[in-house]
Amino acid sequence: MNFHQRENGDMEVSEIDPLLAFLMVEGIRQEEEEWDCIAESFLATPLAEDALFSQDWKEYVQPGLLTLFKSCHAHVITDLENMKREQLHGSQDRLATLLIPAAHREAWLRILNVARLSLAARHRLHDQEISGEVVPDLNTERGKALLQLQLFSMIQQVLVEVEMQ
């Protein structure tokens, strides 16, 4: 997998292995009902002991944040749907090329972060696994989740580095 920043600021990720392309799409594509779980987990009221604050948070803040996440998710899904597949000479494999427009970078960073946190929580991944010290066993759901998390971390790191330039 290669990363290249274009002159216009867009990020091109090329030569993506077919398995990694599949895991990327699968890990980010979320069913609409999962947004309730995300809201519950990531947008919980910060001060649960203050009833009035909690009510205001749920009424005024949480819906806006959920709308923001859904908008970011829509941008990322659009970019993934536009991913190009290239046939390798003499092979059945098709490498992918993903274009992340500069205008979508912030959306990607938000969604990758939510996806990483969700994977870690859902599969109870521990720090040693997350840090890359453990080789994922792709025969298990946990191993597949770990590979997705590592992939998302790598893409997120590159996007952050580009953002800091």
Task: Give the global pTM.
Answer: 0.82
Residues 158, 161, 165, CA angle at the centre, nearest 5°?
Answer: 140
8 A C-beta contact, residue 1 and residue 20: yes
35 pLDDT above the threshold of 80: no
In total, the chain counts a number of residues equal to 165
In a 3-state reduction of DSSP, which class is residue 94? Answer: strand
In a 3-state reduction of DSSP, which class is residue 1? Answer: coil
Average pLDDT, the chain: 84
pLDDT of 40 reads 67
8 A C-beta contact, residue 94 and residue 88: yes
Q: How confident is the model over 78-128, as pLDDT tens digits? A: 999 999 987 666 666 688 999 999 999 999 999 998 888 888 888 887 776
153 pLDDT above the threshold of 70: yes
- Domain spans in the chain, listed from the N-terminal domain onward: 2-164
8 A C-beta contact, residue 147 and residue 125: no
Higher pLDDT residue, 29 or 48?
A: 29
Q: How many whole angstroms separate alpha carbon 151 and alpha carbon 78?
A: 19
CA dist 136 → 84, 141, 154 (Å): 27, 10, 15
Q: How confident is the model over 115-145, as pLDDT tens digits? A: 888 888 888 877 767 776 667 788 888 888 8
Torsion sign across C-alpha atoms 154, 156, 158, 161: negative
Higher pLDDT residue, 152 or 42?
A: 152
Which pairs with CB-CB distance under 8 Å and at least 24 residues apart come from 127-135? none
pLDDT of 76 reads 95
